[in-house]
Amino acid sequence: MLSQIYTRGAPSGIRVATRSSKPHGARAFSIQEHASQSILSENGVNVPRGRVATTPQQVTSAIDYLGGSGVLKAQILAGGRGKGTFDNGLQGGCAARVYLGPNDWHVFALKISSLNAQELAGRMLGHRLRTKQTLERGLVVNKVYVTEQVQYEKEFYLSFAVDRTQSKPAIVVSRSGGMNVEEAAEKDPDSIIKLHLSYGKEITRNDANAIAKVLGLVSEHSIEQLHTMVSRLYTIFKAKDATLLEINPVVITKEGNLIWLDSKFSFDDAACFRQPELAKFRGEVEDKNPRQALAASHGFAYVSLDGTIGNIANGAGLAMATMDAIAYYGGTCANFLDAGGKATKDTMVNALRLVLSDERVKVLFIIIYDGIIRGPVVAEALIDALKEISKSKIPIVVRLEGTDSAEGRKIASQF
């Protein structure tokens, strides 16, 4: 969402490592909303109380815990949930600010009433939710997050990210928050402020005053609270090796209190060894795509796509160029897989197993450029891997280029 705001709604863009736009070499590890909110709460940020549920019965228990009403949110690693669609036709039924009453459900985003908690949860759990950030088939909802409902007067957008063009962290704030933040940013670019920060310095009162001016906060109570909370958030952002911390929306109550309703974290994957407490959330990546989790364990960059052509390459640029060539001739890839700089037998075996485990793959393209490793070595590794695991009858197209590639192609042609 942040990258979209700044490429479309403001003159000088900040590009961050998100699932939709990620610079090569900067891999991000994201967690679900409930986990993000838990981290904020543990560090003194004012967030609504909530419980995670994996069954309709647990949803009912969570509502009872919250006093008979709450907000039901589907948990997937994708934005745009409030405007998403379930595979059973349920419209906008994820975050969508679903307000539950003790006797009657009034679902504002869905315009449905008289549904009990278990029934609505049953229409979410186990079903695929499709948003503008997912593939066409959507993502399976295995958890819902039930939080207390909050009455508020205004909502805002706030995020911290790494501005890679400046090699600095930055804070981005908009007076327009909620599900329509992108549209609001397009219509009113002046509603956004971006402040570059330093890892060695804290948020100053002058920074807080500049942010408050954009948000329209005037009371000393609200501005002081803003300074305290934004400082706390920036400390968390740095301490957790985050590449993105997005809060949308931040709301202000009629009493002038700030509450951080919904958050999203992405972390520098290369720094996760310093964050052992994040390991418990790794399973949620598997919920999104088991192959993606397996690929990460082998050091591959892998993205599942909607097509039928497998794509293995030893370089992100090469893999993307292959995708472009396939698309130019009317094909669609089932995946993007960058196997990295190594082309050993183990690398080829793991890459082939990963891609061929996808039943949608009807043909496989393997594109290898031999730089440091000689072509014959690559060819022999590939042949050994194919002998070991390839029981599939699908066609496999291989292209070898680079150091001694002619000799490598000669060896490969004998297989």
Spatial CA neighbour of 350 closest among 339, 361, 363: 339
Q: Which of 246, 284, 302, 369 is catalytic?
A: 246
Burial class (CB in 10 A: 0-12, 13-18, 19+), 107: buried
- Angle at CA 42, nearest 5°, toward 290 and 266? 40
Burial class (CB in 10 A: 0-12, 13-18, 19+), 25: exposed
Q: 352 and 390 in contact (C-beta within 8 Å)?
A: yes
Q: 256 and 224 in contact (C-beta within 8 Å)?
A: no
Helix (H) or strand (E) holding 296: helix 290-297
Q: Which amino acid appears at position 93 of this protein?
A: G
Is 401 one of the annotated active-site residues of the chain?
A: no
Left (φ > 0), alpha (ψ -120 to 50) or beta: where does 208 sit?
alpha
Helix axes 205-215, 220-239, angle to 10 degrees: 110
Which runs of consecutive H residues, i.e. helices, occur in 69-162?
A: 117-124
Which runs of consecutive H residues, i.e. helices, occur in 125-189?
A: 181-187
**Phi, psi torsion values for 249, nearest 5 degrees:** -100, 160
The pair of structure tokens assigned to 186 is 């397009």
Spatial CA neighbour of 250 closest among 185, 160, 145, 159: 159
Rounded Cα–Cα distance for residues 128 and 306 (Å)? 15
Q: How many CB atoms lie within 10 A of CB 21?
A: 12
The pair of structure tokens assigned to 11 is 């003159």
The pair of structure tokens assigned to 283 is 């399973």
Is 157 one of the annotated active-site residues of the chain?
A: yes
Q: How far is CA 281 from CA 51, 210, 266, 289, 305, in A?
A: 16, 35, 12, 14, 24
Spatial CA neighbour of 1 closest among 140, 159, 109, 129: 159
Q: Which of 6, 145, 157, 234 is catalytic?
A: 157
Q: Point out the residues that are catalytic.
A: 157, 246
